[in-house]
Amino acid sequence: MVKRLSVVDVDRCVGCQACMFACARRLGHGGLDGACIHVRSAGGIRKGFVVIVCRACPDPPCARVCPTDALRPREERGVRLKADLCIGCGNCVQACPFGAVLWDREQNKPQICVYCGYCASYCPYEVIALEEVEPIRTTEEMPHAAP
Amino acid sequence: MLPHDPLCRVLYVDLARRRSWVEERTDLFAETLGGAGVGIRLLDEECPPGADPLGPENPIILTVGPLVGLFPVASKTVAMFKSPHTGNLGESHAGGRSAVALRMAGYGAAVIRGASPTPIYLVIEEGQVHFRDAAALWGMHSSYTAGSVLRKRESGSGMRSIMRIGRAGERLVSYACVITETYRHFGRLGFGAVWGSKRLKAIVVSGKRSLPVADRRAYRQTYDRIFQAATQSELMKKYHDLGTAMNVEPLNSIGGLPTRNLQSGQFEGAAAISGERLAEDYLGRRVACAHCPVACIHLAALRLPYPNDPYFYKTVMLGYDHEPIYATGSLLGLDDVPGMLQLMDEIEVQGLDVMSAGVALAWATEAQERGIITPQETDGLVLSFGQAQPYIEAVRRIVSQPTDFYRALAQGVEHAASLYGGVEFALAFGGNEMPGYHTGPACHVGYLTAARHSHLDSAGYSLDQQAVQTGADLIPKDVADALLAEERWRQVLTSLVICLFARSVYSPEVVLQALSSTGHNWSEDGLDKLGADILRRKYKFKQREGFSAAELRVPQRILETSAPAGPFDEAFIREAIARYETQVKSHHSGESKR
């Protein structure tokens, strides 16, 4: 079993952004820079909120478009960033259909969820949760397995 | 303050010359924290004596505090200005995303000077300010639409605040508000008219940055302690469940809910407009300010039919709270909930302060009933308690101002009553309309003495309610001293821009912990002295601009209508005011100790 972050019920989201602050705090500072989760209104607060998280795709499109293999599929699902290989091209940001690859402007690199679930422990309304999912593939089946 | 904390950066904007620059004001923030403390210092610097509140010399000052972006419920922005409504100190607080956005954009305060020759809006980002044309947005019918347009046009969704005025601000109604994120407001004292006078339609602020901490471990521990208290304490739970509307029914049951222009303290329709009933029948969504897990903002979903078009409906989402319910419900004798909500919505569309608008309409209704004003003055409109539709029309006319009467009403109830009479039932305190509590003498002494003439300054209603519970007699001297102590501590909380709903979470001990973990060294004694000093500065500003406690008008109506902690007379009120004034001035504790 592997873990990923999941949006359990977006209609319970009140837009407090405690999850975003938690993700940034994980890095040892305050503010919002570095947060890998994003909450915004669904076109005005009266329409509720959109919670954007990395879905840990089995065949991650962000990794497929990475020209330097800085973003590599994890063994079972999702991706891992090797920051020293990243050239900051931003292809990954374009490739993610959910907009879940956020950008660190100071480092000029993507901010990639590490599936730790720290954010979920600060959600007062059970909007998000770290959940266990079946691994979709084995290492041999990985489309972009390192040689 | 830590070296890389951007708090000390003050953004200056000159609307006339369309220039902006940043000044580092480290001492200012080190001495007075932020929020109210920095705000009154900047107002002293920027606002010349005798300034015309609607002239270019009146500044717009927005300030946040050191804990914003670092700790939960430090979520307010403090606005300072000279009020066009009272002609004196203007201070108004709002939540939404305003505070986090300004802090994340890398500023501790913004000072906006001058006036633009043409309508504009500002876009404030990390490192830059854009001046954008707002000619097409000016005169737009609804404040909601102006917000929608900017939301589409500007970037930073989820990281920004969109503050804007409605037509009331453009047309300089002296109690026009500034709306932020649609459902929060710099509501009181006419901040919106100041924007209108500068032809400033909106400010969009956005940013996303990191903030340094002094001690990571202590920071996380303090964070968790505050977060737990904010999400699990009983007090915060009540704000979360029913919101401030929970006050309606209990207040009514003790006879402290102002009804029909305070002809009574009890409203027979209170059950219909209670927090419980509104939640059951209309609550459509609960939302939060940025970095506040409490989510006290309650939105009603109001489904409205088009009268001449069968099976055609619209659903309006509008925010409700205790004060709007009081001002458009009990005070106007309205228990027709859809009518009350439509009235609230129209006030929002126009961009008025809902409390002042409700009090103005209540006075106008009683004045019309007594024949002081006639349908000739109201341009044919007959106002009557309990009837929503004429009130909705009256709100539009307060903004469009077709007659002298509406022009007068657009300057508030004190002004209108001074022209037409009925001053004895004009519910204004220091020129500002009454909040939704008639609990006893302490609330009224609070409205009169408080720096903003707001119930939130010193919470007199709480003293009254305690007296009701314990059966103790209130004494003017004790009331004054308790109000002063509360107002002083609240200067500290509002300098940290902590939402006052979380005042029990942020005890002095917690405040000191939060400050030290993020690199600000204060002592409890230092905070106490700072609170007294800020309040003294505010009073000094007020006196400079002509405020005199002895000349305050006590509305006779408050003495006539029985209150839970009553009866009380004018002598009680005068004695308490006099005591408060000597005490607030006598504590010249001077410089804050750090």
pLDDT in tens, B330-355: 999 999 999 999 999 999 999 999 99
Q: B-chain residues within 8 Å CB-CB of A42?
A: none
Is the model's pLDDT at B508 over the cut of 60?
Answer: yes
Q: What is the pLDDT of residues B162-174, one digit of tens each?
A: 999 999 999 999 9
Tokens of B112: 């906006």
Distance CA(A73)–CA(B483), nearest Å, equals: 62
| CATH classification at residue B339 | 1.10.569.10
Inter-residue contact B458 to B452 (CB < 8 Å): no
Q: What is the pLDDT of residues A49-77, one digit of tens each?
A: 999 999 999 999 999 999 999 999 988 88
Same domain, B307 and B201: no
pLDDT bucket at B590, cuts 50 / 70 / 90: very low
Tokens of B28: 């200012």
Q: What is the DSSP string of B227-289?
A: HHHHHHSHHHHHHHHTGGGGGHHHHHHTT-S-BTTTTBS--TTTTTTSHHHHHHHHEEEEE--
Q: Is B263 a member of any domain?
A: yes
Same domain, B15 and B35: yes
C-alpha distance from residue B410 to each of B84, B173, B349, B425 (Å)? 11, 5, 16, 18
pLDDT, position A140:
52
Question: Which of A14, A36, A105, A107 to substitute to test the interface with B, most B CBs within 10 Å?
Answer: A14
Distance CA(A15)–CA(A23), nearest Å, equals: 15
Inter-residue contact B492 to B467 (CB < 8 Å): no
pLDDT, position B328:
98
| CATH classification at residue B201 | 3.60.9.10
Q: Which residues in chain A (74-113) have CB-CB distances under 8 A to chain B?
A: none
Distance CA(B339)–CA(B389), nearest Å, equals: 7
Same domain, B313 and B178: no
Tell me the mean pLDDT in the region B297-317: 95
Q: What are phi and psi of B530, to 5 degrees?
A: -60, -45
Q: Is A40 a member of any domain?
A: yes
Same domain, B464 and B393: no
Q: A-chain residues within 8 Å CB-CB of B227?
A: 18, 122
pLDDT, position B237:
84
> Does any CB of chain A come closer than 8 Å to the CB of residue B72?
yes
Q: Is B514 a member of any domain?
A: no
| CATH classification at residue A10 | 3.30.70
Percent of chain B having pLDDT more than 90? Answer: 96
| Mean model confidence pLDDT for chain A | 91
> Does any CB of chain B come closer than 8 Å to the CB of residue A118?
no
Helix (H) or strand (E) holding A66: none
Q: Is the CB of B293 less than 8 angstroms away from the CB of A16?
A: yes
Q: Is A121 a member of any domain?
A: yes
> Does any CB of chain A come closer than 8 Å to the CB of residue B292?
yes
Specify the length of chain B in residues.
594
Same domain, B343 and B401: yes
Same domain, B198 and B266: no
Tell me the mean pLDDT in the region A3-8: 93
Tell me the mean pLDDT in the region B538-564: 97
| Mean model confidence pLDDT for chain B | 96
Same domain, B413 and B443: no
Q: Which residues in chain B (203-242) have CB-CB distances under 8 A to chain A?
A: 208-213, 216, 219-220, 223, 227, 231
How crowded is residue B222: how many other Cβ atoms within 10 Å of its Cβ? 22
Same domain, B254 and B357: yes
> Does any CB of chain B come closer than 8 Å to the CB of residue A62?
no
Q: Is B221 a member of any domain?
A: no
pLDDT bucket at B592, cuts 50 / 70 / 90: very low
Q: A-chain residues within 8 Å CB-CB of B158?
A: 17, 38-41
Q: What is the pLDDT of residues B172-204, one digit of tens each?
A: 999 999 999 999 999 999 999 999 999 999 999
Distance from CA of A17 to the nearest CA of B (A): 6
Q: By CA distance, what is B97's nearest residue in A?
A: A16
Inter-residue contact B593 to B526 (CB < 8 Å): yes
* Candidates B104, B212, B288; nearest CB to A32: B104
Q: Is A126 a member of any domain?
A: yes
Domain that holds residue B574: 439-504+523-586
Q: Is A46 a member of any domain?
A: yes
> Does any CB of chain B come closer than 8 Å to the CB of residue A39?
yes
Last residue of a domain, one of B429, B461, B485: B429
Is the model's pLDDT at B593 over the cut of 50?
Answer: no
pLDDT, position A53:
96
Is the pLDDT higher at B181 or at B234? B181
Closest CA to A2 of A138, A142, A147, A144: A138
Please, which residues have CB within 8 angstroms of residue A26's CB and are 6 or more apart in sequence? Answer: A116, A118
Last residue of a domain, one of B407, B429, B451: B429
Distance from CA of B525 to the nearest CA of A (A): 27
Q: How many domains does chain A have?
A: 1
Angle B338-B343-B346 from CA coordinates, rounded to 5°: 125
Q: What is the pLDDT of residues B101-117, one digit of tens each?
A: 999 999 999 999 999 99
Q: Is B235 a member of any domain?
A: no
Is the model's pLDDT at B266 over the cut of 80?
Answer: yes
DSSP state of A113: -
The reply to whether omega before B567 is within 30° of 0 (cis) is yes
pLDDT bucket at B452, cuts 50 / 70 / 90: very high
Same domain, B185 and B71: yes
Distance from CA of A140 to the nearest CA of B (A): 40
Q: Is the CB of B181 less than 8 angstroms away from the CB of A45?
A: yes
Distance CA(A103)–CA(A117), nearest Å, equals: 20
Last residue of a domain, one of B206, B230, B263: B206
Q: Is A43 a member of any domain?
A: yes
Spell out where B57-189 has E strands: 60-63, 77-82, 89-94, 109-113, 120-125, 128-133, 160-164, 178-180, 184-186
Q: Is A146 a member of any domain?
A: no
Q: How many domains does chain B have?
A: 3
pLDDT, position A135:
78
Q: Is B517 a member of any domain?
A: no
Burial of B47 (0-12, 13-18, 19+ CB in 10 A): buried
Inter-residue contact B228 to B255 (CB < 8 Å): no
Q: Is A91 a member of any domain?
A: no
Q: Is B231 a member of any domain?
A: no
Q: Is A39 a member of any domain?
A: yes
Domain that holds residue A49: 1-53+113-130
Is the model's pLDDT at A136 over the cut of 80?
Answer: no
pLDDT bucket at B589, cuts 50 / 70 / 90: very low
Same domain, B28 and B110: yes
Inter-residue contact B563 to B256 (CB < 8 Å): yes
Q: By CA distance, what is B287's nearest residue in A?
A: A14
Q: Is B423 a member of any domain?
A: yes
Same domain, B170 and B290: no
Same domain, B147 and B166: yes
Q: What are phi and psi of B427, to 5 degrees?
A: -90, 75
Q: Is B232 a member of any domain?
A: no
Is the model's pLDDT at A145 over the cut of 70?
Answer: no
> Does any CB of chain A come closer than 8 Å to the CB of residue B518?
yes
Question: Which of B1, B67, B210, B515 to substitute to test the interface with A, most A CBs within 10 Å?
Answer: B210
Distance CA(B179)–CA(A46), nearest Å, equals: 14
Closest CA to B365 of B323, B333, B341: B333
- For the ranges A59-63, A138-142, B4-8, the lowest mean pLDDT is seen at A138-142
Distance from CA of B526 to the nearest CA of A (A): 25
Q: What is the pLDDT of residues B81-103, one digit of tens each?
A: 999 999 999 999 999 999 999 99
Distance CA(B354)–CA(B117), nearest Å, equals: 29
pLDDT bucket at A138, cuts 50 / 70 / 90: low
Q: What is the pLDDT of residues B464-493, one digit of tens each?
A: 999 999 999 999 999 999 999 999 999 999
Distance of alpha carbon B259 from the chain centroid: 22
What distance separates the 2 farthest-apart alpha carbons in chain A? 50
